[in-house]
Amino acid sequence: MASKQRNQQPSAPAEDLKSKDLERSRARPQNEALRTNQGVKIADNQNTLRAGPRGPSLLEDFIMREKITHFDHERIPERIVHARGSAAHGVFQVYESMAEYTKAAFLQHPSLQTPVYVRFSTVQGPRGSADTVRDVRGFATKFYTSEGNYDLVGNNMPVFFIQDAIKFPDFVHAVKPEAPNEMPTGGSAHDTFWDFVSLVPEATHMVLWTMSDRAIPRSLRTMEGFGVHTFRFVNAKGVSRLVKLHWRPVLGSYSLLWDEAQKLAGKDPDFHRRDLWEAIERGDYPEFELGVQIIEEKDQDSFGFDLLDPTKLVPEEIVPVKIIGKMTLNRNPDNFFAETEQVAFHPGHVVPGIDFSNDPLLQGRLFSYTDTQISRLGGPNFHEIPINRPVSPNINNQRDGMHRQTINVGQASYEPNSVSDAWPKETDPAAKDGGFESYPEPMEGTKTRVRSESFADHFSQAALFYQSMSDVEQEHIALAYQFELGKVTKPEIRARVVNEILANFDAGLAATVAEGLGLPKPAKGARAAGKQQPSPALSLLNRGVPGIKTRKIAVLAAPGSDGAAIKSVQAALKSQGATPLLVSPTLAAIDGMNPDATISGMPSIMFDGVVVVGGAQGAKALAQSGDARHFVLEAFRHLKAIAATGAGKDVLSAAHLPEKGDGVFIGDDGKVEAVLKPFIEAMGQHRVWARREMAETVPA
Ligand code: HDE
């Protein structure tokens, strides 16, 4: 007889189970009296018990004391890294069976829907820091599979700063706000970060990624995700292959400009969180395809670098990314704290069919993640928090501990036992739905603290990444190094980055950055990497943007603007799946329509494109408004497509926008389709890159 376990879940399809599980834990008061935690109804929630109306408060007031005590303990330690995050529920479905490669149940059949919870995060900043800082983004996915939880705890960049877990505390201490003054919040532009990475050349490749546009994504919905480490897929016959995992956003991958990112950090610190939340509320469900690079064990030494080295990527021109399934994020959390704050990811949460490699960074992570939850979530029972519970039963003989929820029934808390017929029992891995069995990788070696020689090249892949960038992206990288190093106060650190890091992977970049910092032109690096075979897939500009779906477009108008033109512009943009918002100097109705936002509430940095509509009176008001002129100038400066219909063009003239600027389209109020067609095409390129030089002449 199985020992009874009251919190045991019945068996049912995975998705039903998860929602039932969460439903049971939800507190949704409807027609309910206010009560204490002990269930006593409360008659007065406004006044403390006191000795007379003007007298002292009484210690006896258990209602007030319980309330304040709970409040006093409402905060838990934030994550030591990745503290700032936003998350959503969704489902994952594989396109075709992956049985050839892995026995993981959730990858066996396209009809299977697996519930997921995904948390995106920045790394450096605290929980309340801004979303759009220059930083790596975490991309952590919990799959609630029928065989237990599988967590893919990745980032939006395919490599990492260090090669060995023992360096992680050093790296994190260096990048976090500095010890004496807790500055800066949410960024790496400070002495200790650059000091560390200038002394640790293995960081070079990843630092370059963080200086690229990848570190300032336009949206959490438009960034890629990567498992980083090499993992294993193991099939039912026990055959193992090495894999690299990728997430690809269906909307394409594109980024902010640095000036936008900085301004957004002040004007809307929740920019990414809001964007994710609103897209899901609108029904524009973010979709990500799962891709996998599959490498036969016998081929693992054929790359010229070590697959166990997490500072290296496998160019997809060499090993193509096979797209195997899709994740759709379709539900916002009900409660930020209960779900997003308490969710506990762990790269060691794997299911049969998925296994680890000996990447020394991954090996260290396998220890760290449970350990951190014990202090962050207050003990070893964090798996019982609703968001962390697997949908499969998790019955074992573990007992007790802080905050234990399960009431384990019966005598047996050990195995083997005869008192409950030895239940729960192990499952033979050979059986269908068998137990987890580690891949029997042959192993021998001498106990040592030596880093493999095969990890020694720190510059070739940095050169590969830089040489694979478009001109625009290379410019952005140079500006980012100049900006960040410009904030470093110690001249010797700046010089070390230029001479000992940059000069070793690109002489041109090193010279440009040196010039911006007023440093002499650097000599060729002693370990300079040469010309590499570029990987065009690494350039965001080669990724393409499929149309204007879900993109935010400001329809700029004022009372007196042409109502019919507003309606037809909005209809045309909505028909392409975009999100047009009516923006006006005030919230006063325009021809019976209420604006969605004011210019000061939603400046142009929050939009992807602008249409200024006609109507002489409205256009005149906008032309006279400094805020409206600034709006179009800033959109121009940030390389956004701009359209004007009818008298709307007067607003552009009043702002002194270059008349024949690239990506500026002018037409009649009566024929908005004609002007919107090229406008939509230009937006489909994300930005009007050809305007770069002209844009710099515009004051905004
Ligand atoms: Fe993490 N990391 N990490 N990390 N990491 C944490 O776990 C750690 C690394 C990543 O949304 C912590 O629950 C070590 C690489 C994400 O909740 C902590 C090492 C990658 C998240 C931790 C690494 C990541 C974390 C902090 C080097 C990309 C956020 C709170 C050996 C592949 C998950 C927590 C979420 C969080 C340790 C390196 C991704 C302290 C020791 C490489 C996305 O345990």
**Is 167 close to ligand 1, i.e. is its CB under 6 Å away?**
no
Q: Is residue 38 part of a domain?
A: no
Ligand 1 closest atom vs CA 155: 28
In this structure, the residue with its CA closest to atom 20 of ligand 1 is 154
The CA distances from residue 484 to 391, 477, 489, 631, 638, in Å, are 45, 11, 10, 28, 21
**Could you tell me if 109 and 94 are in contact, meaning their C-beta atoms sit under 8 angstroms apart?**
yes
Ligand 1 center from residue 336 Cα (angstroms): 20
79 is in an annotated binding site: yes
| Residue type at 237 in one-letter notation | K
Task: Report the CATH number that the domain containing residue 115 is assigned in CATH.
Answer: 2.40.180.10
Q: Which of 495, 510, 542 is the last residue of a domain?
A: 542
**Is 368 close to ligand 1, i.e. is its CB under 6 Å away?**
yes
**Is 348 close to ligand 1, i.e. is its CB under 6 Å away?**
no
Q: How many residues does the chain have?
A: 700
Task: Report the CATH number that the domain containing residue 519 is assigned in CATH.
Answer: 1.20.1370.20
Q: Is residue 362 part of a domain?
A: yes
For residue 36, what pLDDT is reported? 95
Ranges of residues in the chain with a pLDDT under 70 are: 1-25
Q: Work out the number of other CB atoms within 10 angstroms of the CB of residue 451.
A: 13
Exposed / middle / buried, residue 691 (Cβ in 10 Å: 0-12, 13-18, 19+): buried
**568 and 628 share a domain?**
yes
Ligand 1 center from residue 160 Cα (angstroms): 11
Helices marked H in 534-592 — which ranges?
563-575
Task: Report the CATH number that the domain containing residue 641 is assigned in CATH.
Answer: 3.40.50.880
Ligand 1 closest atom vs CA 169: 41
Rama region for 535: left / alpha / beta (φ>0; ψ in -120 to 50; rest): beta
**Is 82 close to ligand 1, i.e. is its CB under 6 Å away?**
yes
- How is the beta sheet containing 641-645 ordered, strand by strand? 597-598, 579-584, 552-556, 609-612, 641-645, 664-667
Ligand 1 closest atom vs CA 79: 30
Convert 328-341 to b/e letters by CB count within 10 Å (16 or more is b): bbebbbeeeebbbb
Choosing from 84, 142, 153, 175 the residue with most ligand 1 atoms within 8 A of its CB, the one to mutate for a pocket test is: 153
**Could you tell me if 641 and 683 are in contact, meaning their C-beta atoms sit under 8 angstroms apart?**
yes
Helix or strand (DSSP H, E) at 460: helix 460-467
137-145/354-356 β-pairing: unpaired
End-to-end CA distance of the chain: 74
Ligand 1 closest atom vs CA 138: 43
**Is 158 close to ligand 1, i.e. is its CB under 6 Å away?**
no
For residue 10, what pLDDT is reported? 37
- Show the tokens assigned to 371: 């350990």
For residue 18, what pLDDT is reported? 63
In this structure, the residue with its CA closest to atom 16 of ligand 1 is 138
User: In the 8-state DSSP scheme, what is residue 95?
Assistant: S
Sequence-ordered list of residues with C-beta below 8 angstroms from that of 226, at least 6 positions apart, any chain: 139, 154, 155, 156, 157, 158, 244, 245, 246, 247
**534 and 607 share a domain?**
no
Longest dimension (CA), the chain: 89
Q: Among 461, 454, 453, which residue's Cα sits nearest to residue 207?
A: 461
**529 and 675 share a domain?**
no
Q: Is residue 6 part of a domain?
A: no
Q: Which of 362, 388, 414 is the last residue of a domain?
A: 388
Q: Is residue 559 part of a domain?
A: yes
Ligand 1 center from residue 173 Cα (angstroms): 14
In this structure, the residue with its CA closest to atom 27 of ligand 1 is 165
Choosing from 81, 209, 358, 385 the residue with most ligand 1 atoms within 8 A of its CB, the one to mutate for a pocket test is: 81
Q: Is residue 39 part of a domain?
A: no
**581 and 485 share a domain?**
no
**Is 369 close to ligand 1, i.e. is its CB under 6 Å away?**
yes
For residue 241, what pLDDT is reported? 98
- Show the tokens assigned to 253: 């991958």
User: In the 8-state DSSP scheme, what is residue 452?
Assistant: P
**106 and 245 share a domain?**
yes
Helix or strand (DSSP H, E) at 262: helix 258-267
Tens digits of residue pLDDT in 607-665:
999 999 999 999 999 999 999 999 999 999 999 999 999 999 999 999 999 777 799 99
**Is 226 close to ligand 1, i.e. is its CB under 6 Å away?**
no
Ligand 1 center from residue 81 Cα (angstroms): 7
The span from the CA of 189 to the CA of 171, in Å, is: 14
**531 and 595 share a domain?**
no
In this structure, the residue with its CA closest to atom 30 of ligand 1 is 79
The CA distances from residue 456 to 177, 197, 247, 312, 502, in Å, are 30, 16, 28, 11, 17
**Could you tell me if 171 and 210 are in contact, meaning their C-beta atoms sit under 8 angstroms apart?**
no
The span from the CA of 657 to the CA of 623, in Å, is: 12
Ligand 1 closest atom vs CA 81: 26
Which 3 state secondary structure label does DSSP give 75?
coil
For residue 556, what pLDDT is reported? 98
Residue-range definition of the domain harbouring residue 485:
458-542
**Is 609 close to ligand 1, i.e. is its CB under 6 Å away?**
no
Rama region for 665: left / alpha / beta (φ>0; ψ in -120 to 50; rest): beta
The span from the CA of 618 to the CA of 611, in Å, is: 13
Ligand 1 center from residue 347 Cα (angstroms): 8
Choosing from 79, 214, 343 the residue with most ligand 1 atoms within 8 A of its CB, the one to mutate for a pocket test is: 79
| Residue type at 288 in one-letter notation | F
**477 and 577 share a domain?**
no
**142 and 286 share a domain?**
yes
The span from the CA of 407 to the CA of 4, in Å, is: 9
**601 and 511 share a domain?**
no
221 is in an annotated binding site: no
376 is in an annotated binding site: yes
Ligand 1 center from residue 362 Cα (angstroms): 10
Q: Is residue 447 part of a domain?
A: no
Q: Is residue 132 part of a domain?
A: yes
DSSP assignment of 409-430:
-SS--SSS-STTTT-S----TT
Tens digits of residue pLDDT in 82-119:
999 999 999 999 999 999 999 999 999 999 999 999 99
Sequence-ordered list of residues with C-beta below 8 angstroms from that of 112, at least 6 positions apart, any chain: 14, 93, 94, 105, 106
Catalytic residues: 82, 155
**Could you tell me if 228 and 160 are in contact, meaning their C-beta atoms sit under 8 angstroms apart?**
yes
The span from the CA of 401 to the CA of 288, in Å, is: 38
E runs forming strands in 250-357: 287-296, 322-331, 354-356
For residue 26, what pLDDT is reported? 72
For residue 9, what pLDDT is reported? 38
Cis bond upstream, residue 184 (ω within 30):
yes
The span from the CA of 251 to the CA of 288, in Å, is: 8
For residue 7, what pLDDT is reported? 40
**Is 154 close to ligand 1, i.e. is its CB under 6 Å away?**
yes
Q: Is residue 651 part of a domain?
A: yes
**Is 374 close to ligand 1, i.e. is its CB under 6 Å away?**
no
Choosing from 369, 375, 377, 382 the residue with most ligand 1 atoms within 8 A of its CB, the one to mutate for a pocket test is: 369
Ligand 1 center from residue 374 Cα (angstroms): 15
In this structure, the residue with its CA closest to atom 29 of ligand 1 is 82
**557 and 532 share a domain?**
no
Ligand 1 center from residue 136 Cα (angstroms): 12
Q: Which of 353, 372, 388 is the last residue of a domain?
A: 388
Q: Work out the number of other CB atoms within 10 angstroms of the CB of residue 304.
A: 10
In this structure, the residue with its CA closest to atom 44 of ligand 1 is 369
Ligand 1 closest atom vs CA 365: 31
Ligand 1 closest atom vs CA 228: 32
Ligand 1 center from residue 420 Cα (angstroms): 40
For residue 543, what pLDDT is reported? 84
Ligand 1 center from residue 403 Cα (angstroms): 24
The span from the CA of 661 to the CA of 639, in Å, is: 10
609-612/552-556 β-pairing: parallel
Backbone angles phi, psi at 326, to 5 degrees: -135, 140
Ligand 1 closest atom vs CA 371: 44
**151 and 260 share a domain?**
yes
449 is in an annotated binding site: no
E runs forming strands in 95-238: 114-122, 137-145, 148-155, 225-226, 231-234
User: In the 8-state DSSP scheme, what is residue 217?
Assistant: B
Structural domain tally of the chain?
3
Rama region for 592: left / alpha / beta (φ>0; ψ in -120 to 50; rest): left
- Show the tokens assigned to 413: 């808390």
**598 and 538 share a domain?**
no
